[in-house]
């Protein structure tokens, strides 16, 4: 076992090696959280807003992707979805009723700059919508947390130069868009996120093709190099915008800015195999450190990525490394989206494909002994595994030493197509309670700084390539009538945060 893998194993496995969950492991203890701990819920513009071409909005790559024939989104699109655009006052009043303290939402780039580019006209109706949304939040005492990019680049930029595939062009256009948002909303918004889940943008959008723009080997795109170019563009665009915010806006607006990264935790498929122990570490580096090392540490990609990917992985120029070093300390928090844990198995008998993105590591929910990582939600990959969540909190804290803000966490319940099951969502309540217990243990037993938690999602919505199948919401949405009904998990979170913070 390499020295690095040995250190990883000690750091994570001492929080207890993987053992199958028993009934007692699935009992919520309602452990305390700090009095300053904040909570809320999150959404993404394309998933909830609807009004796809209202009041001057331009098309995004998701507007295009969801209207492809044959459908790649289960025959569904988000032209209307929750109609949050027209029902925002109703939705925010409901958030107030449910005791939420923060609303993390994203701005639709093509709603405020329909063609997206640095020389293209601004849509004042789009600016007015987000201004009204922010004002209404503040009137209800709810803090706005704004994400600039949640997967929906304007279609016009994709048509012009391939969006993320042209680093210089995209950076310039994203900088103009960010400046517009800071100038328009920054006096009222003090929490900013540049990009949501760059791993998903890079791999799912530009390698396996399951998300917009749907690039994959089958359609003839260069999946050997594209994902890494996309990731490179995102990292540099993030750093540029962080620098702009710090230099031009932060002193007056007194806000903070960062990026949101997602990631599973990984256990070795065979806990006695040195190769699988190393595979679990490597998988975290390919998934999370790919972006987090340059962004939060101001350095090159992890060495294991350089070694495996070779010239597939772009190189930072010295000027770009200077930008990363200058801005890494300007990120105010580590934005963490997390849902579940998987087993990692190092494949040795079959060679990796030319566009391999994992170092030939296979993921599974079942280990070599046939043990499941945890009970499955309605999405087979998403299982209850709060122990892995605690270990990942430790891994991130040990490596990056930034306060962690859990910006997404949640699950869809089995059987939630039945409205009664959806409202009395006991599976979700147990999941949320167990993951909050893991945060408490990470804080009080492990010394990890975790400052807040945003549930995914505020309401049932358009779930990307899955259409309207899985329901992640704390609020049930009838997509025929658009009636909102809070689920019991919404009331559970309101009550549990009141109680947990009393105990602290």
| pLDDT of the residue at 72 | 97
Does the annotation mark 408 as catalytic? yes
Q: Could you tell me the two tokens for 232?
A: 């490179």
Distance CA 443, CA 1 (A): 30
Distance CA 501, CA 481 (A): 37
Does the annotation mark 197 as catalytic? yes
Query: Which residues on adjacent β-strands are paired with residue 42?
Result: 104, 456
DSSP H stretches of helix in 35-193 = 45-48, 61-65, 88-97, 109-112, 124-139, 155-161, 167-185
Pairing of strands 191-196, 143-149: parallel
Which of helix, strand or coil describes residue 486?
Answer: strand
382: preceding bond cis by omega (within 30 degrees): no
Q: Report yes or no on whether pTM surpasses 0.85.
A: yes
**Domains: count for the chain:** 1
Distance CA 71, CA 469 (A): 15
| pLDDT of the residue at 4 | 55
Within 10 Å of residue 168's Cβ, how many Cβ atoms? 10
Distance CA 174, CA 10 (A): 41
DSSP H/E element including 361? strand 361-364
Which of the residues 49, 169, 197, 267 is marked catalytic?
197
Residue 481 backbone class (left: φ over 0; alpha: ψ -120 to 50; beta: rest): alpha
Q: Angle 385-151-286 (CA atoms, 0-180°, nearest 5)?
A: 50
Q: Do 238 and 295 contact (CB within 8 A), yes or no?
A: yes
| pLDDT of the residue at 237 | 99
| pLDDT of the residue at 2 | 52
Which of the residues 169, 226, 320, 408 is marked catalytic?
408
DSSP 333: S
Which residues are within 8 A (CB) of 447 and not within 5 positions of it... i.e. 6 or more apart?
397
Q: Which domain holds residue 187?
A: 3-503
| pLDDT of the residue at 20 | 81
Which of helix, strand or coil describes residue 345?
Answer: strand
Ranges of the chain with pLDDT below 50: 1, 7, 14
Distance CA 349, CA 390 (A): 33
DSSP 148: E
CATH of the domain at 244: 3.20.20.80
In the block, tokens 């959404």 appear at 43
Q: Could you tell me the two tokens for 197?
A: 């889940």
**Can you say how many angstroms the Cα of residue 114 is from the centroid of all Cα atoms in its chain?**
24
Longest CA–CA span in the chain (Å) reads 61
* pLDDT (tens digit per residue) in 177-194: 999 999 999 999 999 999
| pLDDT of the residue at 7 | 46
| pLDDT of the residue at 10 | 52
| pLDDT of the residue at 14 | 41
Residue 62 backbone class (left: φ over 0; alpha: ψ -120 to 50; beta: rest): alpha
């Amino acid at each position: 076992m390499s020295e690095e893998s040995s250190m990883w194993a000690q750091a994570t496995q001492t929080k207890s090696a993987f053992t199958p969950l028993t009934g007692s492991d699935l009992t919520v203890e309602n452990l305390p959280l700090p009095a300053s701990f904040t909570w809320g819920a999150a959404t993404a513009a394309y998933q909830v807003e609807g009004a796809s071409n209202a009041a001057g909005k331009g098309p995004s790559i998701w507007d295009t992707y969801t209207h492809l024939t044959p459908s790649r989104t289960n025959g569904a699109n988000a032209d209307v979805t929750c109609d949050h655009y027209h029902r925002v006052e109703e939705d925010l009043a409901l958030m107030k009723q449910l005791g939420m303290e923060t609303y993390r939402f994203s701005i639709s780039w093509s709603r405020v700059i329909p063609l997206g580019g640095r020389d293209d006209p601004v849509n004042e109706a789009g600016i007015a919508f987000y201004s009204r949304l922010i004002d209404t939040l503040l009137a209800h005492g709810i803090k706005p947390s704004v994400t600039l990019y949640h997967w929906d680049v304007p279609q016009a930029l994709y048509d012009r130069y391939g969006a993320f595939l042209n680093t210089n062009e995209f950076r310039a256009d994203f900088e103009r868009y960010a400046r517009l948002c800071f100038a328009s909303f920054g006096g009222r918004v003090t929490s900013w996120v540049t990009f949501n889940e760059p791993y998903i943008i890079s791999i799912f959008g530009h390698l396996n093709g399951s998300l917009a723009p749907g690039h994959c080997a089958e359609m003839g795109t260069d999946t050997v190099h594209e994902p890494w170019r996309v990731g490179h563009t995102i990292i540099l665009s993030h750093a540029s915008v962080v620098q702009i915010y710090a230099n031009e806006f932060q002193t007056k607006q007194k806000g903070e800015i960062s990026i949101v990264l997602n990631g599973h935790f990984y256990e070795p498929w065979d806990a006695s195999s040195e190769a699988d122990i190393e595979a679990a570490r490597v998988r975290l580096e390919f998934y999370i450190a790919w972006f987090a090392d340059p962004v939060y540490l101001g350095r090159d990609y992890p060495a294991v990525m350089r070694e495996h990917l070779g010239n597939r992985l772009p190189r930072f120029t010295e000027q770009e490394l200077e930008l990363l070093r200058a801005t890494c300390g300007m990120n105010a928090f580590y934005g963490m989206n997390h849902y579940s844990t998987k087993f990692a198995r190092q494949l040795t008998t079959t060679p990796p494909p030319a566009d391999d993105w994992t170092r030939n590591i296979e993921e599974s929910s079942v280990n070599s002994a046939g043990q499941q990582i945890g009970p499955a939600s309605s999405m087979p990959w998403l299982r209850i595994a709060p122990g892995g969540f605690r270990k990942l909190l430790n891994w991130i804290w040990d490596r990056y030493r930034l306060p962690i803000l859990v910006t997404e966490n949640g699950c869809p319940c089995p059987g939630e197509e039945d409205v009664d099951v959806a409202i009395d969502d006991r599976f979700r309540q147990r999941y949320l309670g167990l993951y909050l217990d893991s945060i408490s243990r990470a804080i009080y037993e492990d010394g990890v700084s975790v400052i807040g938690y945003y549930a995914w999602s505020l309401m049932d919505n358009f779930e990307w390539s899955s259409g309207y199948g899985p329901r992640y919401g704390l609020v049930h949405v009838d997509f025929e009538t658009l009636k909102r009904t809070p689920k019991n998990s919404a009331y559970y979170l309101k009550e549990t945060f009141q109680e947990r913070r009393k105990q602290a």
